[in-house]
Chains A and B, each alone.
Chain A
Amino acid sequence: MDGPRILSISELTSLIKNELEQPIFKNIAVEGEISNFIHHTSGHMYFSLKDKNSKVKAVMFRGRNMRLNFIPKNGDTVVAIGSLGVYEPNGEYQLYIDQMFPQGVGALHIQFEELKNKLQQEGLFDYERKRPLPTLPSHVAVITSPTGAAIRDILSVIGRRFPKMNVLVIPAIVQGVEGPPSIVQAFEFAAQQSDLDVIILARGGGSLEELWAFNDERVARAIAQCPIPVVTGVGHETDFTIADFVSDCRAPTPSAAAELVVPDYFELQRTVQGYYQRLLVNIENLIANKKTSLSYLTNRGALLRPQDKLNRERQRVDELLSRTYRQIEYHQDRFKQQLRLLSGKLDTLSPLATLSRGYSICSKNGQVIVDANQVEIGDHVTVRLRKSQLSCIVEKREEVDY
Chain B
Amino acid sequence: MTTKSFEEALKDLEDVVQKLEDGETTLEESLKLFEQGVSLARYCAVKLDESEAKINLLLEKNGQFLREPFEIEEKGN
Q: Could you tell me which A residues sit within 8 Å of B by CB distance? A: 134-136, 138-139, 141, 146-147, 151-152, 155, 162-171, 189, 192-193, 265, 268-269, 271-272, 275-276, 278-279, 282-283, 286, 290, 317, 320, 323-324, 327, 331, 334-335, 338
Contacts and interface: CB of A to CB of B under 8 A. Distances in A.
B14 A275 contact: yes
Given A193-B65, A275-B41, A164 B35 contact: no
A306 B7 CA distance: 50
Interface string B18-52: 00110000011011001101100110110111111
A166 to B, nearest CB: 5
Given A276-B37, A338-B45, 4 more contacts: A136-B48, A152-B72, A276-B41, A286-B30
B31 A283 contact: yes
B37 A320 contact: no
B47 A278 contact: no
20 contacts: A135-B10, A136-B47, A163-B53, A165-B53, A166-B54, A166-B55, A167-B70, A169-B55, A169-B56, A169-B57, A169-B58, A169-B70, A271-B10, A272-B13, A275-B41, A276-B38, A282-B20, A282-B34, A286-B27, A327-B34
Nearest to A143: B58
A361 B52 CA distance: 40
Task: Give the one of B6, B47, B48 with max A CB within 10 A.
Answer: B48
Contacts, number: 119
Contact of B17 (A265, A278, A331, A338): A278
Contacts of A155: 55, 72
A167 B50 CA distance: 13
B31 A139 contact: no
A148 to B, nearest CB: 10
Contacts of B28: 320
Given A169-B70, A324-B31, A331-B38, A189 B58 contact: yes
Which of A138, A163, A272 is packed against the most chain B CB atoms within 10 Å?
A: A272
Given A169-B56, A170-B58, A272 B38 contact: no
Contacts of B50: 138
Contacts of A163: 53
A331 B45 CA distance: 12
Nearest to A272: B44
A37 to B, nearest CB: 41
Contacts of B51: 138-139, 162, 164-166
Contact of B65 (A162, A192, A317, A323): A192
A283 B56 contact: no
A162 B27 CA distance: 39
Interface in B54-71: 54-58, 60, 65, 67, 70
Given A166-B52, A275-B14, A334 B34 contact: no
The 5 closest A-B pairs by CB, nearest first: A136-B6, A135-B7, A276-B41, A164-B53, A279-B37
A195 to B, nearest CB: 10
Contacts of A324: 31, 34
A147 B67 CA distance: 17
A271 B17 CA distance: 12
A341 to B, nearest CB: 10
A323 B58 contact: no
Given A146-B70, A272-B10, A275-B14, A283 B44 contact: no
A282 B72 CA distance: 49
B53 A168 contact: no
A189 B65 contact: yes
A227 to B, nearest CB: 16
B67 A134 contact: no
Contacts of A268: 44, 48
A305 to B, nearest CB: 18
Nearest to B50: A138
B27 A272 contact: no
Contact of B31 (A151, A170, A271, A320): A320
A146 B10 contact: no
Contacts of B31: 283, 320, 323-324
